[in-house]
Structure 1
């Protein structure tokens, strides 16, 4: 495919990448902004090139956010990498089965889960606002996090994908009793682990449009760094508000994919 696109289109894609990086750094779900923008901006590109380019862009903002969180928030890096390695394995397994799964069957189930999550967030306003003081996760809780947030959500990421970062934040906060800021930071590290494997695969397939990906990646990186700093500065209450908005957006996006207009 020719990557000769207009300067206006490239600038709009870069703006979308910056916004996606910000959203993803705060609570996950940046793909809701970036992937549709790439589909519109690159209408002649094969889907695999759109996905590969999206992954090359997204990993930059995620990595920048992970570094910002790791420097300024009290993250349990050992646990984060354990969950991340499990998620890498889960995403590879999910990707290997993706071609044989009808996503139209999965979307209603995912929407039901998201609606339950939304109801939970609205009915439990204290969820994730503060961590349990002095609590150290037990080995059992860490093992559950590895299985659910690592293998389970990693598998979902490889299989279908939308909202992976949001699910990670919710799972980590619920299982390990993290506040939402720490959960967001840990989720970024896990996302970096899963994205590395996918990006290597896409790169080996020649499915990344680097002429588009590089300028978008710089903007995504900037958005990710700014989003992480805002989340760290404003705290879990701010993250929770963004989380509610992103969950609603995910439900609407999946409903649109399932039933159209």
Structure 2
């Protein structure tokens, strides 16, 4: 398809806003995927193009959190590998089948995530206490593989679920969970980009400017998350999850899959 200046400007604006949201609570795909589709980008190209731009934007947020020592390095190698492999499988599946079933599963998972957030809201442990739990490797690998597969298959909200998983399963506080979820999300984006790129479903002329916009948005969002702390992360997380739930209920249970 022809990528016009209007398409670039519209999509860059969407990716800038999505970058801010992603850096704080995840869920920026709720903005980027619809904006690409609205501009006439075919579904598989929308997924591939969006993943490349989001991957570069997430990488910039990782550097910001790393400089401020919010990353828990013990969990990251396994988290990165499992998330990337899960995303490769999910992206390959997206190229083969329809995403309606995965969307319906996500609709059912969102209320569970909200309940878990409420139930664990009072628990805040530092990194050493949180990582003393048994079966840490199993929790990290399961979290990365399952959500990574969803991210590669469909995507929107994956950052929120990485955040919730780290907060609930590993008992990290929300700011630290938000920071480390970026590594998991970066890995899943990377796995997806490799898969969609090998299938030729990435519009590089659109992805690069959108990536720049996403990087700027992620930098702003990362600074906001670190300055204002847990309160804004919790508010953004609830807002993103509520929007995701409403969007998916309409898409998969009212309007039906396209």
User: Quick one: which of 92, 95, 98 aligns to 2:91?
Assistant: 95
Matched with 2:27 is 29
- Output the aligned Cα RMSD: 2.2
Matched with 1:158 is 152
The alignment status of 1:188 with 2:186, answered yes or no, reads no
Q: Which runs of 5+ in 2 are unaligned?
A: none
Contact 1:81 1:190 in 2 (8 A): no
Contact 1:73 1:182 in 2 (8 A): no
**Deviation, structure 1 residue 234:** 0.7
The alignment status of 1:39 with 2:37, answered yes or no, reads yes
Contact 2:117 2:168 in 1 (8 A): no
Q: 1:69 to 1:94 in 2, by over 3 A?
A: same
**Deviation, structure 1 residue 85:** 0.5
The alignment status of 1:118 with 2:114, answered yes or no, reads yes
Contact 2:148 2:188 in 1 (8 A): yes
The TM-score, its normalising length taken from structure 1, stands at 0.88
Q: 1:109 to 1:49 in 2, by over 3 A?
A: closer
**Deviation, structure 1 residue 226:** 0.7
Rounded to whole Å, the distance in 1 between the matches of 2:143 and 2:67 is 23
Q: 1:133 to 1:2 in 2, by over 3 A?
A: closer
The alignment status of 1:20 with 2:14, answered yes or no, reads no
Q: 1:146 to 1:205 in 2, by over 3 A?
A: same
Rounded to whole Å, the distance in 1 between the matches of 2:138 and 2:231 is 26
SS of 2:27's partner is: coil
The TM-score, its normalising length taken from structure 2, stands at 0.89
Q: Which runs of 5+ in 1 are unaligned?
A: none
Matched with 1:75 is 71
